A and B are shown apart, each in its own frame.
Chain A
Amino acid sequence: MSSMAPGTPSTLGALAGRAFANRSFVIGLFITLVVAALALVSFFWTPFDVTRLIVADRMQPPSSAHWFGTDHFGRDVLSMIMIGSRNSIAVALVAVGIGMGIGVPLGCWAAARGGWIDEALMRFNDLIFAFPALLSAIMITAVFGPSAINAIIAIGIFNIPVFARVARAGALSIWPREYILAARAAGKGKARITIEHIIPNIANLLLVQGTIQFALGILAEAALSYVGLGTQPPMPSWGRMLFDAQTLMMVAPWLALFPGCAILLTVLGLNLLGDGISDIFDPRARRRP
């Protein structure tokens, strides 16, 4: 949990060297970049136009023209997966943004103030944790109507206590350090110390948690869309594609295969990336065999 051990050189070069020697990091980064690239490319180009329904081409198995086959409307599955990735990424990314944007200041505030503010904030965190997150997301989207926006808010709310907890724990380990004492002696206020010293020193923890919550967000969005409470048709989404595939499984099993692989690969990439970042910054990792 601590940052660099005393006397460890932590120049950018050394860090990069360790990063590219770390297998998890390299594989995770590669997968994540491929998925991000596919999502970006989909804005300019997809193999086929997914808004055009070509009934003559419906439910084609994978072929050289349609790599991943076509669905019951004759839409190209690869193109739909590419466009669907935008949704997954956007929902999970904004949800992480909400969680970090609110949770990190709360956690840092709790750590800086201590006392009853700390206690109250952390008890509030425990409260949110007691709700099964997906259940609450289902309730929120059910009450306010199914849409991608409500899915983002529902997932984002449950990211807040996670980031608050990580930020608080990290900040509490930094506050007793000598350089913080020096900063206080120099007359810096708590807010300024938090911004200038605490946050840069817990950034690695936040980054790791960010990749984990990003991955969980993608899984949650897929689950919500699967039960019809997330992204709404006709916008393609991975979860919705799996729902449509379920009834067609006897005749077109590939429809269930590829969207699931897309979710699996994206989440896997992010988790590996998170593991990698965590190893790179945690000096204890190098002692581990």
Chain B
Amino acid sequence: MTAYLLKRLLIGAATLVVASVVVFLMLEVVPGDPARVMLGMNASEAQVELLRDQMGLNQPLIVRYLDWARGLLSLDFGKSYTYSVPVIDLIRERIVVSFPLAVIALALSTLIAIPVGLFAAARRGRAGDTAAMAVAQIGVAMPNFWFALLLVYVFAVWLRLVPAGGFPGWGAGAWPALKALILPAVALALPQAAILARVTRAALVEVLGEDYIRTARAKGMPMRAVMWRHALRNAMIPVLTIMGLQFAFLLAGTIIIENVFYLPGLGRLVFQAITQRDLIVVESVVMLLVAAVVTVNLLVDLSYALVDPRLRTRQ
């Protein structure tokens, strides 16, 4: 188990290194000189050259990469080209929107998917199962940003229960801020919940065919208890795997969804940075998101050992 985790840790670290090289090189080939962008078209060639020197843009590629990578490790991402403030400040300002959004969405998706999966698996082949899985099939096919538009139309435009977009900030109180995150979280969560419910059902159906389930039933254990205590626990590995993968989808999804709801999160930041050619911001946010995905996948690997004691002792 330790060897396994060590291997996963190494792979995670290698992923981050390769990701940083790819991200760095990719943005290196982008046309447009950041110094020229910062100074505007009227600046003289000498001024641009001076700024390039100050920003370290005239250093060799490898030196610039190492500088940047060293900065990443100490969370010093450098200064934004357009705002002239440290990138970490921009990220800190925006992450308080994106992170709660992704977490609420993941929680919602799990809270919906696991009971639906249990419900369908317990009634497999019957009407309840067929209906639940038909709805899930539609949920899987639903583009989340379109679902978001429909939610806005019904709950913001028509019923006027929640705001159609924007974010008042956490300073305005927890409730108004949460209210602004409800629709985006639901829009993100439901399509993911549909996928997760299908996986949960499939994993449960597989487990329910096992001998120990029949034994548990034969000794008189009620079906409900068998489902929760034996079946769900044994079905957790594929469910956890998909949840880990979904976190990456949710992060990418927030980028799109934040644009639907005009939320000032990391996604909006990336888009603005892309249009303003503020490459250092783009690089930093992308690396941050990749690091988040790698971390979550490591946690998923760890959690396997928690749900399945057999994995703890396996060599």
Contact = CB atoms under 8 A, between A and B. Distances in A.
Interface centre among A130, A139, A268 (most CB of B within 10 A): A130
Interface stretch (B47-55, B58-66, B219-227, B286-294): B286-294
A227 B143 CA distance: 13
Interface stretch (B79-87, B175-183, B232-240, B252-260): B252-260
A215 B252 contact: no
Interface string A121-164: 00100110011111100111011000000000000000000000
B98 interface: no
A233 to B, nearest CB: 17
B97 to A, nearest CB: 17
Interface residues of A, number: 38
A250 interface: yes
A277 interface: no
A222 B249 contact: no
A222 B143 contact: yes
B141 A268 contact: yes
Given A132-B293, A223-B256, A249-B153, A126 B146 contact: no
Interface in A247-268: 249-250, 253, 256, 259-260, 263-265, 267-268
A130 B140 contact: no
Contact of B145 (A138, A142, A223, A249): A223
A132 B146 contact: no
A253 B252 CA distance: 27
B contacts with A: majority SS: helix
A143 B145 contact: no
Interface in B187-219: 205
Interface residues on chain B, size class: 35 or more
B248 A132 contact: yes
A272 B133 CA distance: 12
A249 B151 CA distance: 12
Given A132-B252, A253-B153, A242 B145 contact: yes
B232 to A, nearest CB: 19
A142 B274 contact: yes
A73 interface: no
B128 to A, nearest CB: 14
Interface of B: 11, 14-15, 18-19, 23, 26-27, 29-30, 124-125, 137-138, 140-143, 145-146, 149-150, 152-153, 157, 205, 248-249, 251-253, 255-256, 259-260, 270-271, 274, 282, 286, 289-290, 293-294, 297
Given A123-B14, A135-B251, A142-B282, 18 more contacts: A123-B11, A130-B248, A130-B294, A131-B19, A132-B251, A222-B143, A223-B143, A227-B255, A242-B146, A256-B150, A259-B146, A264-B138, A264-B142, A264-B146, A267-B143, A268-B138, A268-B141, A288-B125
Interface of A: 123, 126-127, 130-135, 138-140, 142-143, 215, 219, 222-223, 226-227, 242, 245-246, 249-250, 253, 256, 259-260, 263-265, 267-268, 271-272, 288-289
Q: Which 4 A-B pairs have the closest CB atoms?
A: A134-B252, A260-B146, A267-B141, A289-B125
8 contacts: A123-B11, A131-B19, A134-B255, A135-B289, A139-B23, A142-B274, A263-B141, A271-B141
